[in-house]
Amino acid sequence: MEIEFLGAAHEVTGSCHYISIGNKKILIDCGMEQGADIYVNQEIPVNASEINYVFLTHAHIDHSGLLPLLYQKGFRGKVYSTKATKELCAIMLRDSAHIQEAEAAWKNKKARRLGKGTVEPMYSFEDVEGIMNLFVSCDYHQIIQVCNEIEIRFVDAGHLLGSASIEIWLLEDNNKRKIVFSGDIGNKNRPLIKNPEYIKESDFVVMESTYGNRNHEVVEDYAKLLADVVRRTFKRGGNVVIPAFSVGRTQELLYYFRKIKTEHMLPEFENFEVYMDSPLAVEATNVFHQSISSCFDEEALGLIEKGINPISFSGLKTAVSVEESKLINTIKKPVIIISASGMCEAGRIRHHLKYNLWRKESCIVFVGYQVPGTLGNLLLNGIKEIKLFGEPVSVAAEICNLPGISGHADERQLKEWASAFSGDVKTFFVVHGEDKVCDEFSESLQNEFGRHAIAPYSGSRYNLLTGECIFEGMKEKVQKQKPDMSTAKEIERAKSNIYERLVSTGQYLMSIIKKSQTMQNKDLAKFADQIHALCEKWDSK
């Protein structure tokens, strides 16, 4: 019974943890890294086809984004998540596949002009459809018997619609251990969704630390804060541009703008318009409407009982097509534009930045955490010029960071969550934080609460029966460079992508063969003949 930490160890994104118990192999999250990498993540220690289960905390891409790649490499087990997480993943992973394919097409167009090799997208829409067919929807608080050795339960983490902390009970040779994965713990008293739930007992806890060394500024009324930003920007004649994640943050902003409208907080701009420029955000908003009973907090439910849609109002416009998106930048009057991605790394927001960053009248408003190395982080730190679509763009617009509008618990709230556990927790494993934050937060858990806490590195392995460290992982920092597709090495790497996929499929075939020993002889013979015929077909080529 072992755990190995793979992603989000001394880093904020790319969450992925591996548990082995007997012959069962489990992943908790399978996320994509975003922004600059500080450490090289260890690979999943077994072939994807050998993994039996994935337990998913929530739908954000840094927790779910590599699931289609896992499927492509041969995973055919089950993905357990809440119902809302499954529904959000269905749209978010399709969007991610679209980004992968669009980026590959852009790179290939450039490569052809230069006479270079082509690249393949990380995964396809078919891979997304394949992984979605493996999802198992779970209700909050329901204890689920996954197999003889494993039971799980999802409790509300209050971070995103459907987000969860996961309790896992493991049984091996009559030895039972419980381990809790916090997922991303939500900031309290946010609109729409409930506050995070506390858990009281566990042997081990794997806990996030995104804001583990700082507290959110206390803001009494976010709507008033937003209204003040809009007022001063509109008076200058500029647009308010808000980079926001399509799922979660966008819907919260709609809640606040509805409040501004209904409470007449901008009387001088009573008919202001808000453009939600994201097909993904439109689909995600529909999922919010379908998740009222299980996920909405009391305030939102109260509005619904009065016949009020908490995330809709007059003046709300949606842009789904590319043509509709382009038309926004031709509007002559000041408007509010909410667009993805939240860290400005991709998507339509980059076009709106191109049209507004150089305008001193406009304001770019950040309402969420910006990973170091992302464009959003650079803008917050005062960069004066950036490149967008190959062209330099000067930064003259007001750059505003709204405090407190965060989906993550701050230091105080994280400690409240941790202190809810009894004194029987053997170890807190601190993950999902910047390099020094992981260390600082684990030290504070020890010093303030007397908890045994460790900030593991990627590759660290622990025995969950004894609590002993088997391998300490990679402590040496290795800065990975972003791929330069013009180099011969990267061109060769790109060419090998499809071959690697073929190799993974072959490994998947071997795993099926190993599992087929109990089949009847006639079925084994038929299986062998089919493989032989396929081999002969391709060997002749």
What is the count of structural domains for the chain? 3
Strand partners, 206: 181, 429
Residue 34 Cα distances to 31, 185, 354, 442, angstroms = 9, 19, 22, 23
Each residue's pLDDT tens digit, 348-373: 999 999 999 999 999 999 987 787 88
Q: What does the alpha-carbon distance between residue 218 and residue 381 come to, in Å, rounded to a whole number? A: 22
Stretch 484-510: mean pLDDT, rounded?
A: 52
C-alpha–C-alpha distance, residues 477 and 36, integer Å: 12
Q: Which two tokens stand for residue 306?
A: 């009065």
What is the per-residue pLDDT for 247? 85
- Segment (H or E) for 339: strand 336-339
Residue 486, domain member (yes or no)? no
Assess whether pLDDT exceeds 70 at residue 97: yes
Going by C-alpha positions, the residue among 296, 394, 388, 379 that lies closest to residue 342 is: 379
For β-strands 427-431 and 78-82, DSSP reports them as unpaired
Triad 127, 132, 133: Cα angle to 5°? 100
Q: Are residues 155 and 66 in the same domain?
A: yes
> From CA 414, how far away is CA 441, in angstroms rounded?
9
Per-residue tokens: 413: 């709230």
Q: How far apart are CA 121 and CA 93, in angstroms?
A: 13
One domain, residues 101 and 184? yes
CATH code of the domain covering residue 96: 3.60.15.10
414 and 330 in one domain? no
Q: Provide DSSP, 223-268.
A: HHHHHHHHHHHHHHT--EEEE--TTTHHHHHHHHHHHHHHTTS-GG
Q: What is the pLDDT of residues 55-74, one digit of tens each?
A: 999 999 999 999 999 999 99
How many Å apart are CA 35 and CA 41, to the nearest integer? 14
Q: Within this chain, do residues 55 and 191 fall inside the same structural domain, yes or no?
A: yes
Q: Who has greater pLDDT, 192 or 421?
A: 421
| Cα–Cα distance for residue pair 67/64, rounded to 1 Å | 6
Bigger pLDDT: 151 or 371?
A: 151
Final residue of a domain: which of 341, 376, 401? 401
Q: pLDDT tens digits for 330-353? A: 999 999 999 988 889 888 999 999
Token duo for residue 462: 């622990």
Q: Is the pLDDT of residue 479 over 60?
A: no
pLDDT-wise least confident of 18-22, 449-453, 520-524 = 520-524
CATH of the domain at 346: 3.40.50.10890
Cross-strand pairs, 392: 387
Q: What percent of the chain has pLDDT over 70?
A: 92
Tens of pLDDT along 255-306? 999 999 999 999 999 999 999 998 888 888 888 877 777 778 888 888 888 8
The confidence score (pLDDT) of residue 492 equals: 43
Read off the pLDDT band of 319 (50, 70, 90).
very high
Q: 449 and 396 in one domain?
A: no
Report yes or no on 476 lying in a domain.
no
d(CA 205, CA 28): 13
Please, which pLDDT band fits residue 490 given cuts at 50, 70 and 90?
Answer: very low
Write down which residue in 374, 401, 428 finishes a domain: 401
Strands 204-208 and 175-181: parallel
Checking if the pLDDT of 161 tops 80, the result is yes
pLDDT-derived band at 169, boundaries 50, 70, 90? very high
In a domain, 484, yes or no: no
The mean per-residue pLDDT over the stretch 370-379 comes to 88
d(CA 147, CA 164): 21
Does residue 522 form part of some domain? yes
> What is the reported pLDDT for 77?
97
Asked whether residue 182 is assigned to any structural domain, the reply reads yes
- Asked which of 99-103, 194-198, 473-477, 526-530 is least confident by mean pLDDT, the reply is 473-477
pLDDT attached to residue 501: 56
Parallel, antiparallel, or unpaired: how do β-strands 469-471 and 316-319 relate? unpaired
- State how far the Cα of 55 lies from the Cα of 222, in Å rounded to an integer: 34
In a domain, 14, yes or no: yes
Q: Same domain, yes or no, for 198 and 276?
A: no
| DSSP letter string, 396-421 | -SEEEE-TT--SB--HHHHHHHHHTS
pLDDT exceeds 60 at position 47: yes
Burial of 476 (0-12, 13-18, 19+ CB in 10 A): exposed
- Point out the domain boundary residue: 357, 377, 401: 401
With beta carbons less than 8 A apart as the criterion, state whether 204 and 425 touch.
yes
| Average predicted confidence (pLDDT) for the chain | 88
User: Over 60: is that where the pLDDT of 190 sits?
Assistant: yes
469-471: strand order across its sheet: 135-138, 78-82, 53-55, 24-28, 16-21, 2-7, 461-463, 469-471
Distance CA 435, CA 478 (A): 12
Q: Are residues 202 and 256 in the same domain?
A: no
184 with 241, same domain?
A: no
- Specify if 479 maps to a domain: no
Q: Which domain holds residue 67?
A: 2-215+407-471
The strand pairing partners of 168, in sequence order, are 152, 179
Rounded to an integer, what distance in angstroms lies between the CA atom of residue 280 and that of residue 383?
Answer: 29
Query: Across residues 201-205, what is the average pLDDT?
Result: 97
Q: Does 163 share its domain with 198? A: yes
Whether residues 336 and 450 fall in one domain: no
DSSP letter string, 128-196: HHHHHTTEEEE-TT--EEEETTEEEEEEE-SSSTT-EEEEEEEEETTEEEEEEE--SPBPTT-SSBPPP
pLDDT at residue 280, as a whole number: 85
Same structural domain for residues 352 and 372? yes
pLDDT at position 493 is 41
Q: Bigger pLDDT: 347 or 313?
A: 313
229 and 210 in a common domain: no
Q: In the chain, count H helices and then E strands.
A: 17, 23
